[in-house]
Amino acid sequence: QAGQWDPAKCAENAQAAAQDEAVVGWIGPFNSGCAATQIPTLNEAGLAMVSPANTYIGLTKPGGEPDEPDKYYTTGERNYTRVIVADDKQGQAGAALMEEEDVESVYILDDKETYGKGLADQFQKAAEEQGIEVLGREGIDGSASNYRSLMNKVAQAEPDAVYFGGIIENNAAQLIKDKVGAGMPNDEVLFVGPDGIFVDELLGQAGDAAEGIYVTFGGLPESELSAEGQEFVETYESKYDDEIQPYTAYAYEAANVMLDAIERAAEEAGGVPERQAVIEQLFATEDFEGVLGTWSFDEEGDTSLTELSVQTVGDGEFTLDRVVDVADF
């Protein structure tokens, strides 16, 4: 394992699934960049997809690159869905958080990948609409040994906050450590990042430098899940020697909604369903009652769920700071 997503492996996996006639549904992928690689192949193959974690806006609706999302759906028909709130809303939540914390200026960084850059774009748009001054915007090298020079440059701009769009695998912890080391402690200069760094690995890698950072998540932590969600958490943790991670419940929901679509398509067919029938049933999902609550897919494949959350780090742990309902935006 490389420790991060591999475009070549993503393409290989999609091609294998497309050619396997026994496969009628695809659950995943985890990373938005991987999804951008896989969707065209699986769209051509007429294979239904549901992701638990892809948040990049351009996968389903305008707001990313000019030719998105149409370039992913070469057949002209949609086959991709997701159970998580997209980045246009997560970017707005990050900007709303800064406004509530009286931030007047921000320096924006991203890891130059589909997810990270896209989210930083959405945050920048929302921040500017909120009247927050953007002092600078740069992409980082995720494999750099340190960011001391960059953070010294950021410090000279004297921002009230630093926003990072990216994933843990692209050196987010080192970025945070060098921000604090450049004389920008988190209680004086806010650090806000997305759910791509909402993993326990960040806490171990960043150590004390992570204290006081904020992380947005395109969903809800386990403590805020529905009654069915709480039951799932208890069952999972009693069965496996492993703590629930932010996307565990979302992966479970993605699997269940796909299985539900397959079951309905099979009942209609009186046997093994055609791939197209599974797509139709997946997009027909309405008022699905699961661990995330009661929700539906819209015509673009996005969830009707509107709540996301903000976490902060205290005493070496992520704790819920606030729940944000993006229906208000």
Question: Domain-by-domain residue ranges, the chain?
Answer: 7-85+246-295, 88-217+310-328
Winning range, highest mean pLDDT, from 69-78, 221-230, 236-245:
69-78
What pLDDT score does 274 carry? 97
| 113-122, 199-208, 240-249: least confident range | 240-249
What pLDDT score does 6 carry? 92
What pLDDT score does 119 carry? 93
Contacts of 270 (CB under 8 A, 6+ apart): none
| Residue range 13-33: mean pLDDT, rounded | 96
What pLDDT score does 327 carry? 83
Write down the residue that tokens 């980082």 correspond to. 140
| Residue range 115-139: mean pLDDT, rounded | 96
| Residue range 53-79: mean pLDDT, rounded | 94
Percent of the chain surpassing pLDDT 70: 99
Helices 275-283 and 248-269 pack at an angle, to 10 degrees, of 120
The model's pTM is 0.85
Q: Which two tokens stand for residue 188?
A: 């004086």
User: How far apart, in whole angstroms, are the C-alpha atoms of residue 290 and residue 323?
Assistant: 20
Q: Which two tokens stand for residue 219?
A: 């969903």
What pLDDT score does 265 carry? 98
User: How far apart, in whole angstroms, are the C-alpha atoms of residue 16 and residue 33?
Assistant: 18
Just give the CATH number of 88-217+310-328: 3.40.50.2300
Whether 1 shows a pLDDT value over 70: the answer reads: no
Beta strands in 166-263 (DSSP E): 190-193, 214-217
Whether 19 shows a pLDDT value over 50: the answer reads: yes
- Read off the amino acid at residue 65: E
Whether 67 shows a pLDDT value over 60: the answer reads: yes
**Mean pLDDT of all residues in the chain?**
95
> Is residue 3 very low, low, confident or very high in pLDDT (cuts 50, 70, 90)?
low
CB 60 within 8 A of CB 54: no
Query: What HEC string does 74-112 produce?
Result: CCCCCCEEECCCCHHHHHHHHHHHHHHCCCCEEEEEECC
Whether 192 shows a pLDDT value over 80: the answer reads: yes
Percent of the chain surpassing pLDDT 90: 91
Specify whether domain 7-85+246-295 bears CATH 2.40.70.10: no
